[in-house]
Chain A
Amino acid sequence: MKYAFKYVQAGLWYRPIVRVTLKFNKIEFNYLALIDSGADFNIFHADIAKILKIDLSKLKNPVNFSGIKGGGIGYFTSIDLGVEGNFVNTPVVFSNDISDNGYGILGQQGFFNNYKIDFDYRLRRIELTSNKK
């Protein structure tokens, strides 16, 4: 299954931000997140875990992570992550330490391992091909 997206324009910048669907506890909504090959995991804002009724204080597996300026703490769990209605259950990290200037991130484990991803910056186009047979 293939899915095509356009880069999102934000002023001068074009970024590979795509709409994914998050599903857990029968709650489902869409979320815009940045595809980032430099990130090891999916990292989403902790605030949205509350909407999914995930109590981060009950998760026993905090993970330290690092970025350009410093580090942060997040909490691993797994949720259903969908692209245009097709879902895979996949690990995500929820964190309060995403910068105010940052984005939810689709990273290697949880996204790149589920899709072949072709970036064409010249055409401002991203193509995802599901690894699911």
Chain B
Amino acid sequence: MKVNTNLTAIFTKYKGLWVALDETLKKVISSDKNVDKVYKKALKKGYQKPTLFKVPQKNLPYFGFVK
């Protein structure tokens, strides 16, 4: 299975949102600000083990992680 490692489009389209991705990381199954909704929607669509990811609000050079 080839896994998508270029998430540029997801970083651009889903800024600040949680996304659930399929096994290949190519398909966004669901997205929302609320990760619980994202997870439940993915389960409802039949994805038992989605990949959850919080897309950064801004794709800045990264040095640390706290607010």
Contact = CB atoms under 8 A, between A and B. Distances in A.
Contacts of B66: 65-72, 97-99, 102
Most chain B CB inside 10 Å of its own CB: which residue of A11, A21, A36? A11
Interface residues of B, number: 33
A63 interface: no
Majority secondary structure, A binding face? strand
B65 to A, nearest CB: 4
Contacts, number: 114
A119 to B, nearest CB: 15
Contacts of B62: 13, 15, 34, 101-103
Interface of B: 3, 5-8, 11-12, 16, 18, 21, 25, 34-36, 39, 49-54, 56-67
Given A6-B5, A28-B49, A47-B18, 18 more contacts: A19-B25, A31-B53, A34-B62, A48-B52, A50-B35, A68-B65, A70-B66, A71-B66, A98-B65, A98-B66, A99-B66, A100-B56, A100-B57, A101-B56, A101-B59, A102-B56, A102-B62, A102-B65
What 4 A-B pairs have minimum CB-CB distances, sorted nearest first? A68-B64, A67-B66, A30-B51, A102-B65
